[in-house]
Amino acid sequence: MARTSTMSTRLAGGVVGALVVVEGTSGVLQGYYTPLLTDIARHLGIHDADVNWFEAAQLLLSAIVVPVLARLGDMIGHRKVLIGSLVVTAVASWALAFAPSFPLFVLAWAIQGFYVVWLPLNVAIIHSRARDREDGAALTRRGAGIIVAALQAGAIIGALAAGQLGGILPLWAALCVPAALVTVALAVVILKVPDTGVRAGGTIDTKGTVVLTLGLLALTGGLSLVRLDGFTPWVAAMVLAGLALMWVFVRVERGTDQPLVDIALLTRPTVWPVILTATLFGVSVLGAQGPLSTFARTDPDEVGYGLGLTSATVSYLIGAYVVSLLVGALLFARLSARFSPRAVLIAASFLVAGGYLALIPFHGSVATVVTCMVVAGLGSGALVAALPAAAASAAPPHQTAMATGLTNTTKTIGGAFASTAFAIALVSGASTAATAGESTAGTLSGYMTVWAICGGTALVAGACLFAVPKVAFQHNVDVVEAETGAAR
């Protein structure tokens, strides 16, 4: 017992401590720029609506690079790919500070999206170091919870820091701050994270990569066009082409000895519910934050609904939600040790569902909205930590990065679909003020549709997780046991 405790301490204080810096930096990248978007738009001479291209470009690139880099990490070493992605992200972050034009800024912003592979690679590194220990699965969950908590804390710190620094520094100097942090994180990984030695070998599936890239380009590109022109025949054609290419991708991968994505892995009883949950979870965690912010800013005196918050006070609402994410991530490992990882995943999904569905009747005051979002945030934080850890525990040792990377990729795809669906929902119908004049606010029925979709997809995710064998994710041998009928 003492030896196990010592190992846990070394893992937490050594490698996990270094990876905390990486994920904290990832959180800063995700939270830092939001308060500065209006300043960036003014600097680039673009309309506020054009900042949506930043998110669209980054989601598109991240959906493509994660499976490729995750597979590469399994092949040549997770540490090497982590360092490479840090280098690319650092270069892109510095380029953002000095980009002279809108196209170059969008390009740098998209390339900065390489940071999305950090979490699956970090979980794979933790799992690789812990997998030979008796409590390896528990150590992986604990480490994942810690680094995800660092990610959420980084998002909070980043948003607060940007709000302060944006008012006292020139824009270019303020944009240098996250670039400097990425550079520091790169140095920490080089100096403090040793190579795990785990290698799957093989080669990159070039044919599969090309088909997957084209499929994701068609899908996400078509969904992005909906924001500009609505659902046109051209959009429908692109989405259908994307779905057809994804079908071709599955056929190609099944016939390849060294696939980019192991379809057999995805069909395992311990894996497919996790990947499906990640897709459904992406709907709320990536798609619902914008509508939450705009609903909070909507003036009830003008349209009869909304909270009428200012840009300053709405940050407290967002802050409460992000803090609840952090708490949920920290509680995940502790609750999994007391109950079971599967039970915690199911409970977390139902918390997300309850929080969003409760917003439908209880959206009339700041107190009720905050309460609902905290409930949803607790479940979301647990899922952010749980999904990559569960995927790592359910996959063979040489495919941990692939499995954890797929949770990020499918979550991104779910978020892309959701952002498009929500954009359509919020403009459906006519939103008019009490004076019968037209308003630019989203419709109340649209917001209720958003909350219903978020809650409904979370309910479906929780139901799917009942298909996971009860012994799943508890120990390395559970991958074999669960798939030979150990559910009872």
Distances in whole angstroms, Cα of residue 482 to Cα of each of 113, 142, 356, 399, 407: 35, 22, 32, 17, 20
Q: What is the DSSP track for 332-362?
A: HHHHHHHS-HHHHHHHHHHHHHHHHHHHTT-
Classify 207 as helix, strand or coil: helix
Alpha-carbon torsion 349, 82, 395, 138, what sign?
negative
User: How high is the pLDDT of residue 137?
Assistant: 66
The torsion angles phi and psi of 241, rounded to 5 degrees, stand at -65, -40
DSSP state, residue 230: -
User: How high is the pLDDT of residue 190?
Assistant: 93
Is-contact 218 242, C-beta < 8 A? yes
The residue count for the chain = 488
Nearest to 412 by CA among 117, 76, 190, 159: 117
User: How high is the pLDDT of residue 477?
Assistant: 40
Strand partners, 33: none
Distances in whole angstroms, Cα of residue 39 to Cα of each of 95, 110, 346: 17, 19, 41
User: How high is the pLDDT of residue 472?
Assistant: 61
User: How high is the pLDDT of residue 47?
Assistant: 63
Distance of CA 488 to the CA centre of its chain: 32
User: Dihedral of the CA atoms 340, 346, 348, 354 (nearest 10)?
Assistant: -150
Query: CA-CA distance, 145 to 339, in Å (whole number)?
Result: 16
Is-contact 385 251, C-beta < 8 A? no
Considering only CA atoms, give the Rg of the chain: 22
Is-contact 232 225, C-beta < 8 A? yes
**Helical ranges in 255-271 per DSSP H:** 263-266
Alpha-carbon torsion 82, 84, 88, 93, what sign?
positive
Helix, strand, coil shares of the chain, percent, nearest 5, are: 80, 0, 20
Structure tokens at 291: 């509508």
Is-contact 220 66, C-beta < 8 A? no
User: How high is the pLDDT of residue 12?
Assistant: 46
Residues whose CB falls within 8 Å of the CB of residue 219, separated by 6 or more in sequence, listed in order: 238, 239, 242, 243, 246, 413, 416
User: Dihedral of the CA atoms 470, 472, 474, 475 (nearest 10)?
Assistant: 130
CB-neighbour burial class of residue 44 (10 A; exposed 0-12, middle 13-18, buried 19+) = middle
Structure tokens at 259: 């696939």
User: How high is the pLDDT of residue 8?
Assistant: 45
DSSP state, residue 269: T
User: How high is the pLDDT of residue 173?
Assistant: 93
Structure tokens at 195: 């190579």
pLDDT along the chain (488 residues), means of 10: 44 74 92 77 71 72 80 85 95 94 90 89 81 67 80 82 81 93 96 76 78 84 71 85 91 82 79 86 80 78 80 70 84 78 88 95 90 92 82 72 77 76 65 46 81 93 82 51 42
Amino acid at 243: L
Structure tokens at 37: 């978007």
Distances in whole angstroms, Cα of residue 132 to Cα of each of 82, 127, 291, 475, 478: 22, 9, 45, 10, 14
